[in-house]
Structure 1
Amino acid sequence: MNMFKALARRDQVFDFMTPEVSPVDVRHGPILYLEDVSVSFDGFQAINKLNLTIDDGELRCIIGPNGAGKTTMMDTITGKTRPDSGQVWFGSRHNLLRMSEPEIATLGIGRKFQKPTVFEALTVIENLELAMAADKRVLPSLTARLSSEQRDRIHEVVRLIGLKPAAHGLAGILSHGQKQWLEIGMLLMQRPRLLLVDEPVAGMTEQEMELTADLLTRLAGKGRQSVVVVEHDMGFVRSIARQVTVLHQGSVLAEGTMDQVSSDPRVVEVYLGEESGAEVA
């Protein structure tokens, strides 16, 4: 049995990750909506009238060559970059362009960057405690008294991300893949409704990639979280993809299932060159 499935097969695991009171209204539409978003830097058009819709509980893969606008798109969603024009909505009531980065994170959007950033001198458990704590200073966070519900939540997330055997070990001795899972766990401690994951399998072994695919699939599998994955590894994308969006020159080039986009001549040309007849794989 898959390790993650064995460690986190109970439904209650996902209950600890669901926001206690979600302010996001998705009754009349998607959880994330970008309309005609454009971003330029010193004359370079990073995003050009981008339109993107993510449904509640969806797992979406975003692919595209370097310079396609993937990182700028995530920067715009999280408030790091302000677009020149367009709209970005989280549910039907929250205009993200009027909110700061901390406000957007508090609202329920979590982002995992490509390079994991964990506190290597702290244990796995302590990293999760720190991620959950209201007071983000290290000493108050580690000396605060946890409630039984908080302790249960930490241990459920530890099992979910497959790090129970390493729970009391230092994060610094974890493998690259395990650090990636720990960072995902740290985001889950904040109960996000939308999780943005940037190149999660870069530098991973084949086994770590398989476990990561299972983890991300299950996060969205209960329909309680939406997951957007930006990734260059097409084998990994194919293993998790339900719906794929292809970005090119800051706009959506193609959208559909992996089979649909991989057989699109425009996608083949963008990825493999005009003279190649091979499919994206």
Structure 2
Amino acid sequence: MNFFEEISHRDRVFEFLAPAASPVDVRHGPILYLEDVSVSFDGFKAINNLNLTIDDGELRCIIGPNGAGKTTMMDIITGKTRPDTGSVWFGSRHNLLTMNEPDIATLGIGRKFQKPTVFEALTVFENLELAMATDKRVLPTLTARLTGEHRDRIEEVLNLIGLAQLHHREAGILSHGQKQWLEIGMLLMQKPRLLLVDEPVAGMTEQEMERTAELLTNLAGEQSVVVVEHDMGFVRSIAKKVTVLHQGSVLAEGTMDQVSNDPKVIEVYLGEGA
């Protein structure tokens, strides 16, 4: 794929720009609400009467064995998969099941996949600049000019993700952890209200894991952050509340100490040495 094809690729998670103030009403409840959600694929029930709420500004960790429904849950929230039954609301006004993927992203839901997708031939600064562009057609993107406000926003995000000193470096020569932080920064350029982060520390060094824990903890409050992760040490370092999924529904929920001592969780997940 050449550069022009890459920057017009429709599957990039940072494709759509969220408004500066996402119009999400959380005065009367959580920012994300799933009720009795179910979906089947070829007779297999990937999500089974799932009920889940995420509060505004919360950092929530989602854990569970392979096949528990974690990825499908995120697919449903972002509009990639339509459930067979149930309700999914973003705030009290936005029924996500009536919206498509671009509209959901524009509303303020950002998703980071496990494998970082950055433009390796561009600098860190240019990646953040491209993520902020409002018109994703090739020519407007290439001819867009940065305002002082745009530069301030990029500098703010660079400092937040810890890459300010590397703003001139090509993304392709960053470490794995730095690429993960850059992609989180690209999502932050879109000013999301909810971030879905899939296995952010897979393949990271211990030092990178510590920096990632600090970053995600700092992000909570300004936005809600949902982290799907298998590394229990990392989860313990950041989690105030943990949800355990099993066979497409919530098996347990509470603090890390509560769920790690739950006999059901030990039997189906932690006891497997996960």
8 A Cα contact 1:113 1:198, kept in partner: yes
Distance 1:42 1:84 in 2: 12
| Cα displacement (A) at 1:19 | 5.6
Q: 1:247 pairs with 245, 248, 271, which one? A: 245
- What secondary structure, in the 3-state scheme, does the structure 2 residue paired with 1:253 have? strand
Render the CA deviation track for 1:208-254: whole Å, top value 9, x for unaligned.
Answer: 0000000000000xx22000000000000000001000000000000
Cα distance in 1, alignment partners of residues 82 and 92 from structure 2: 20
Q: What is the aligned partner in structure 1 of residue 116 from structure 2?
A: 116
Contact 1:33 1:54 in 2 (8 A): yes
Inter-partner Cα distance in structure 2 for 1:164 and 1:272: 39
Contact 2:60 2:227 in 1 (8 A): yes
The aligned counterpart of 2:51 is: 51
Matches within 5 A, 1:22-171: 22-171=22-171
Structure 1 residue 139 displacement after superposition: 5.0
Asked whether 1:204 is paired with 2:236, we answer no
Alignment partner, residue 183 of structure 2: 183
20-29 or 58-67: which moved more? 20-29
Pair 1:21–1:207, CA change in 2 (3 A)? same
- Separation in 2, partners of 1:236, 1:153: 29
TM-score normalised by length of structure 2: 0.91
Secondary structure of 1:202's aligned partner: coil
Cα drift, residue 166 of structure 1: 1.1
Distance in 1 (CA, whole Å) between partners of 2:159 and 2:270 is: 40
Superposed CA deviations along residues 25-57 of structure 1, whole A, max 9, x for unmatched, are: 000000000000001100000000000000000
Range with greater deviation from structure 2 (57-66 or 129-138)? 129-138
What code does the residue aligned with 1:30 have? P
| Structure 2 contact 78–105 (Cα < 8 Å) conserved | yes
Deviation of residue 143 (structure 1)? 2.9
Residue type at the aligned position of 2:170: L
Contact between 1:129 and 1:141, CA under 8 Å: does it hold in 2?
no
Indicate the residue corresponding to 1:7 in structure 2: none
> Are the equivalent residues in 1 in contact too, given 2:57–2:222 (CA < 8 A)?
yes
Q: Distance in 1 between matches of 2:251 and 2:145?
A: 51
CA distance in 1, matches of 2:81, 2:258: 32
* Structure 1 residues 142 and 155: CA distance shift in structure 2, 3 A: farther
Compared with structure 1, are the counterparts of its residues 19 and 214 closer, same or farther at alpha carbon in structure 2 (3 Å cutoff)? Answer: farther
- Whether the 8 Å contact between 1:19 and 1:193 is mirrored in structure 2 is no
Q: Distance in 2 between matches of 1:219 and 1:142?
A: 30
Offset at residue 22 of structure 1 (A): 2.5
Q: Percent identity at matched positions?
A: 85
The answer to whether residue 254 in structure 2 is matched with residue 256 in structure 1 is yes
- In the comparison of the two structures, how many residue pairs are matched? 257
1: CA distance, partners of 2:152 / 2:123: 17
Alpha carbon RMSD of aligned pairs, Å? Answer: 1.4
SS of equivalent to 1:30? coil
What is the alpha-carbon distance in structure 2 between the residues aligned to residue 24 and residue 213 of structure 1?
27
State the SS of the aligned residue for 1:255. strand
Question: Counterparts of 1:247 and 1:92 in 2: how far apart (Å)?
Answer: 25
Residues 55-106 of structure 1 deviation map (CA, whole Å, 9 limit, x = unaligned): 0000000000000000000000000000000000000000000000000000
Shift of 1:271: 1.6
**Unaligned runs of at least 5 residues, structure 1:** 1-17
SS across alignment from 2:269:
helix
Match of 1:231 in 2: 229
Q: Is the 8 A contact 1:51 1:251 kept in 2?
A: yes
- Offset at 1:142? 3.8
**Other-structure match for 2:6:** none
1:126-172 Cα shifts (integer Å, max 9, x gaps): 10011000122455324311110011000110111011121011000
- Call closer, same or farther: CA 1:66–1:35 in 2, change over 3 Å: same
